Structure 1
Amino acid sequence: MPKPSLIDGLTPEQRAAFEQELIRRNFTDYDGLVDWLAANGFEISRSSAYRHGSKLKRKLQAVKNSTEAARLIAEAAPDDADLRSAAVISLVQSELFDVMVTLQDLDEAEPSERVGLLKEAAKSVLDMTKASVLQKKWKQEIEHKIREQAAQAATSAAKAEGVSEQGIERIREALGMNNNG
């Protein structure tokens, strides 16, 4: 098992300062970052700083991408059929899948820790699957209600115009409704 990173030994305040400096430097100039770290009493190698910076940059990019995707979904997807929720559930499911794949490649973790992480990820996948099923069921119920309302409105209008019962039945069938609704 690899030895713990020196960065893991930093206090939360020290780690925050280090990460703020990484961000301020736009994840570049690691030689200057090592000098800054030394001037602030930290003995962290360039490679350790770079590894941590790469992980942090990926995390920040993932948050930025998710935020942008959520914004685009909110702007583009009408919520009449709860498409936004479906899109968000799909996005979370994709992210959970990526996390599970990453966990499989996690060489640094103890097997028991990996099992625990995989268990938590699997639980999250189960929760998302349940949410997806409930969302789809709700969408089907709403679509059925909309078709029924359309069929009732069409039936009323057709009767007012003198359309035969056979014609009304054909309208209802075209709308996916039977006589019983």
Structure 2
Amino acid sequence: MARRNSVEQLPQAVRDWLDKALMDGNFSGYQLLEGALHDKGFAISKSAIHRYGQKIERRFAAIKASTEAARLLTEGAADDQDARSEAVIALVQTEMFESIVKLQEAGDEDMDPAERIGLLSSAAKNIATLARASVNQKKFRLEVQARAQAAADAVDKVVKTGGLSDDAADAIRRQILGIAT
């Protein structure tokens, strides 16, 4: 197994300070951080700080992207077709895919083969669950669309036999189906 990054061996309070300093410095200024850590009594190279900073920056970017996606979904998606669930499933599927790629890229010296198989097995089970959820969500969406279409057809028939104009019937149909005019 690979040895831990020297930054990860720092006391939690120092790591918390470093995380904040990295974010405040926009993930730059590694020489200054090396000096500041030296002043605190820790001999950590700027290269080690940079590797650690890249990992934190990726994690921070992923959290920021997920938060932004969730905000946009909440603001912009009326959930009548379960659009939020579909988007969340897609986000999780993307994250699972990226994790599997990283697992495959990890060198043999980085991980015990039995641990690697266990992680892949767990990922496969989670992917199967996600696939079922995705299929069920799409099936639900198609059922809702079919019900809306049937309702629109029934209303169209009633409206036309009731004496409304074709334009009025079309406007009602569009309203039921959610079609912009």
TM range (shorter): 0.7 to 0.9
Identify unmatched segments of 5+ residues in structure 2: 165-181
Change (3 A) 1:104 1:9: same
Correspondences of 1:1-40 after superposition (within 5 Å): 1-40=1-40
TM-score scaled by length of structure 2: 0.78
| 1:58-105 Cα shifts (integer Å, max 9, x gaps) | 111111122222323333333221122212211221221111111111
Q: Which amino acid aligns with 1:22?
A: L
Q: Tell me the distance in 2 between the aligned counterparts of 1:42 and 1:112.
A: 35
Match of 1:143 in 2: 145
- 1:51 is displaced (CA, Å) by 0.5
Match of 1:117 in 2: 119
Match of 1:82 in 2: 82
Identify unmatched segments of 5+ residues in structure 1: 163-181
- 1:32 is displaced (CA, Å) by 0.8
> Does the 8 Å contact 2:5/2:52 carry over to 1?
no
Correspondences of 1:91-106 after superposition (within 5 Å): 91-106=91-106
- 1:138 is displaced (CA, Å) by 1.4
RMSD: 2.1
Q: Tell me the distance in 2 between the aligned counterparts of 1:111 and 1:59.
A: 26
Q: Which amino acid aligns with 1:60?
A: F
- 1:47 is displaced (CA, Å) by 1.2
| Partner-residue secondary structure (3-state), 1:43 | coil
Q: Which amino acid aligns with 2:122?
A: E
TM-score scaled by length of structure 1: 0.78
Change (3 A) 1:116 1:14: farther
Out of 11-20 and 45-54, give the one that drifted further. Answer: 11-20
| 1:37-56 Cα shifts (integer Å, max 9, x gaps) | 11222221211111010111
Match of 2:171 in 1: none
> Does the 8 Å contact 2:22/2:28 carry over to 1?
yes
Which of the pair has the greater relative contact order for Cα pairs under 8 Å at 6+ separation?
2
Match of 1:152 in 2: 154
- 1:114 is displaced (CA, Å) by 2.4
Identity over aligned pairs, percent? 38
Equivalent residues, number: 162
Q: Tell me the distance in 2 between the aligned counterparts of 1:78 and 1:66.
A: 19
Match of 1:126 among 112, 128, 137: 128
Match of 2:52 in 1: 52
